[in-house]
Amino acid sequence: MAMHPLTRVLLGLACILVGLWLVAPTLVVVPMSFNENKSLAFPPQGFSWQWYQNFVTNPEWSTSFLNSLKVATVVAVLATVIGTLAAFGLDRMRARSAGLLRMLLLTPMVVPGVVLAIGIYAVYLDARLVGTMTGFVLAHTILALPFVLIAVQASLEVFDKRLETAAASLGAGRIATFRTVTLPLIAPGILSGLLFAFVTSFDEVIVSLFITSPYMKTLPVQIFTSITRDADPTVAAVGTILLCATTILIGGGLLLLGRDRRSSL
């Protein structure tokens, strides 16, 4: 169906506008990070790398960054293992309760973050987990689990289970079948789950604000406290770095998912 040239132009304009609206607030951070003055003014004045320097050298920033990295890595592995096992269990469960269990596992995605944060905080106070690495890992794993579950479940849905029967007929036991047939074929789903879990933990702020302490801060917490205390443009530098990193990670994840979908056709 041919489109009227005017319609085409209007459609293009509308798309550009919506795109700008979505991306602009994020992109504003980039020029601000090169500001010469210690202010978060826009448009920025002059050009300097000093805020990037500050991010690397100031222990407040670098420690919180390393904390986030550590927490996110452990969370990614933990959530991926648990989430994959859960997706498998639900996939092979014939009982009707499978749907109910699935909903239960997805609740952390649906429940308002603040509500979850209050609950976790209350429990952590008693368990002395506030401000600990373990506390962060446990809380973030709860939040990351649904993403892994969804990603792995999606690739299990398109996985042809009859291949497992074929593998059995060729002499493969259950573990060998999983390792040589099932795992390689659902690997894209598991990998994208891993990426989403990592990112979920890395930029989680609501729950983190509740369970943080002066001795254990993650990067988003540090950004929040910094910006409420003073107008330090280091925040913009960090924001720019994170923007680049998450774009690469999520982009990679989406590419993997896309490949998974195509190969299953």
Partner 1 sequence: MSETGKQRGAAIDLSAVSKAYGSFRALDDISLHIEAGEFMTLLGPSGSGKTTTLNVIAGFTEVSAGSLQVGGRSVVGMPAHKRNIGVVFQHYALFPHMTVGRNVAYPLSLRGVAKTEREARVKRALDMVRMADFAHRYPSELSGGQQQRVALARAIVFDPPLLLMDEPLGALDKKLREWLQLEIKRIHRELGTTFVYVTHDQEEALVLSDRIAVFNRGKIEQVGTGRDLYDAPETLFVGRFIGDSTVLRGQSRGDGSSTALDIAGETVTAPLKHAGRGQPVMLLRPEKLAIRRPGLGRNDGDNRLSGTISEAIYLGSGSKYEIRLRDGSTAIVRSPLTDESFTIGEAVELCFRGEDAKLVADDSAADTTLT
Q: How many residues bind partner 1 (CB under 8 A)?
A: 19
Cα–Cα dist 22/34, whole Å: 22
181 binds partner 1 (CB under 8 A): yes
User: Minimum CB separation from partner 1 for residue 48, in Å?
Assistant: 50
Task: Show the tokens assigned to 38.
Answer: 């210690």
User: Minimum CB separation from partner 1 for residue 70, in Å?
Assistant: 34
User: Minimum CB separation from partner 1 for residue 180, in Å?
Assistant: 7
Cα–Cα dist 181/183, whole Å: 6
> Angle at CA 72, nearest 5°, toward 257 and 142?
80
256 binds partner 1 (CB under 8 A): no
Cα–Cα dist 223/247, whole Å: 19
Site for partner 1 in 142-161 (CB under 8 A): 160
DSSP helix/strand/coil, 243? helix
DSSP 29-57: HHHHTT-SSSS--SS--S--SHHHHHHHH
User: Minimum CB separation from partner 1 for residue 194, in Å?
Assistant: 19
Phi/psi zone of residue 46: left (φ > 0), alpha (ψ -120 to 50 degrees), beta? left
| Phi, psi (rounded to 5 degrees) for 167 | -60, -40
262 binds partner 1 (CB under 8 A): no
Interface region with partner 1, contact rule CB under 8 A, candidates 14-22, 90-98, 162-170, 204-212: 162-170
User: Minimum CB separation from partner 1 for residue 99, in Å?
Assistant: 22
Which one of 184, 251, 252, 258 is in contact with partner 1 (CB under 8 A)?
A: 184
Which one of 167, 197, 237, 242 is in contact with partner 1 (CB under 8 A)?
A: 167
**Which of 47, 52, 50, 35 has the alpha carbon at shortest distance from 239?**
52
Residue for token pair 């894209």 = 188
230 binds partner 1 (CB under 8 A): no
User: Minimum CB separation from partner 1 for residue 251, in Å?
Assistant: 24
Q: Which residues make beta-bridge pairs with 213? A: 216
Which one of 4, 94, 96, 162 is in contact with partner 1 (CB under 8 A)?
A: 162
Please report, as ranges, the residues that interact with partner 1 according to CB under 8 A: 160, 162-163, 165-173, 176-177, 180-181, 184-185, 263
